[in-house]
């Protein structure tokens, strides 16, 4: 197994390993260590069935809960992210976000496997929330440690959300409902349960306010943090190829699906792994 960093801060390509078979103990420990260090890992040149994809994921945890989206037949924990060449409408995964941060226990990790990939376009961009937090002033860090963000799925899956209404022209079966209006709070600074490193835990898709603050007060702080987190210095970018499997630490990263491959079909398989309540 060869781990090649993508940037000087985070992200890595992983080659010379076969994920279609069970990992031996040394391989598993090596991937876990690389994941803790790099936050985003892209395994290249993998040939996987759905069963093998699931088996690989389960070596790192249990499946997470995936609401609002109909999974693949016979595989209730796998989503088929499909977009046809002539498909219009919003792209699933666009907007900077941390997967399902509106859940009480958001996913620890997300795994995405490239089945049918355009010849160019469709990259996924990532930002490191640990790097973003570390670059803040001590005064801002201290302020944020005492605050809780308000998270909700309403902007995406509520009745008036991006995917709140049924669309017969959409390849993916996404069904928003009133449950998306629910809100809950998470610390705006969370501590990674394995590394002990602090990171921001807010995102522009699901974080809609700050607990105990008026909307205009919360808006000012959140907009600053969103802009700060998007700085190029905290970013890396994965270029997809058929057979690429990328896994990212959902607790310390945000990601953005880039919509620049109109005219091409793309199919990905996605799994989330169960996480813990942010602390």
Residue 166 banded pLDDT, cuts 50, 70, 90: confident
Q: Which residues contact 100 (CB under 8 A, 6 or more apart)?
A: 64, 65, 66, 67, 106, 107, 206, 250, 272
**Rounded mean pLDDT of 89-105?**
96
Residue 169: give its domain's CATH number.
3.60.130.10
Q: Catalytic: which of 38, 80, 97, 186?
A: 97
Q: What is the pLDDT of residues 234-270, one digit of tens each?
A: 999 999 999 999 999 999 999 999 999 999 999 999 9
Q: What is the pLDDT of residues 212-238, one digit of tens each?
A: 999 999 999 999 999 999 999 999 999
- Domain annotation covers residue 22: yes
- Domain annotation covers residue 86: yes
Residue 165 banded pLDDT, cuts 50, 70, 90: confident
- Domain annotation covers residue 249: yes
- Domain annotation covers residue 278: no
> Which pair of structure tokens corresponds to residue 84?
């046809």
Could you tell me the residue range of the domain that residue 18 belongs to?
2-273
Question: How many Å apart are CA 210 and CA 188, to the nearest integer?
Answer: 9
* DSSP β-bridge partners for residue 113: 245, 269
Question: How many Å apart are CA 233 and CA 37, to the nearest integer?
Answer: 17
- Domain annotation covers residue 279: no
> Which pair of structure tokens corresponds to residue 62?
């249990």
- Domain annotation covers residue 161: yes
Q: Catalytic: which of 99, 151, 154, 192?
A: 99
Domain count, the chain: 1
pLDDT of residue 151: 98
Q: What is the pLDDT of residues 108-158, one digit of tens each?
A: 999 999 999 999 999 999 999 999 999 999 999 999 999 999 999 999 999
255 among known catalytic residues: yes
- Domain annotation covers residue 231: yes
186 among known catalytic residues: no
Residues 211 and 202: beta-carbon distance below 8 Å = no
pLDDT of residue 92: 94
SS3 (DSSP) at 162 = coil
- Domain annotation covers residue 49: yes
DSSP 35-57: HHHHSEEEE-S----HHHHHHHH
Q: Catalytic: which of 38, 251, 255, 266?
A: 255
């Amino acid at each position: 197994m060869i781990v090649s960093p993508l940037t000087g801060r985070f992200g890595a390509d992983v080659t010379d390993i076969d994920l279609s078979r069970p990992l031996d103990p040394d391989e598993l420990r090596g991937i876990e260590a690389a994941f803790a260090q790099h936050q985003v890992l892209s395994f290249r040149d993998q040939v996987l069935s759905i069963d093998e994809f699931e088996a690989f994921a389960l070596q790192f945890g249990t499946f997470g809960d995936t609401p609002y989206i109909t999974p693949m037949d016979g595989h209730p924990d796998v989503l088929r992210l499909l977009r046809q060449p002539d498909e219009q409408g919003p792209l699933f995964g666009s907007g900077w976000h941390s997967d399902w941060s509106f859940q009480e226990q958001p996913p620890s990790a997300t795994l995405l496997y490239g089945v049918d990939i355009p010849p160019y376009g469709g990259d996924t961009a990532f930002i490191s929330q640990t790097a973003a937090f570390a670059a803040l002033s001590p005064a801002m860090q201290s302020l944020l440690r005492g605050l809780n963000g308000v998270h909700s799925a309403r902007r995406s899956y509520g009745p008036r959300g991006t995917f709140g209404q049924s669309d017969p022209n959409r390849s993916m079966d996404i069904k928003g409902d009133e449950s998306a209006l629910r809100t809950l709070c998470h610390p705006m600074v969370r501590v990674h349960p394995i590394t002990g490193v602090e990171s921001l835990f807010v995102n522009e898709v699901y974080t809609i306010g700050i607990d105990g603050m008026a909307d205009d007060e919360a808006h000012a702080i959140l907009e600053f943090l969103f802009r700060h987190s998007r700085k190029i210095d905290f970013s890396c970018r994965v270029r997809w190829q058929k057979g690429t499997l990328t896994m990212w630490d959902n607790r310390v990263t945000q990601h953005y699906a880039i919509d620049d491959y109109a005219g091409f079909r793309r199919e990905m398989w996605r799994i989330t792994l169960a996480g813990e309540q942010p602390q």
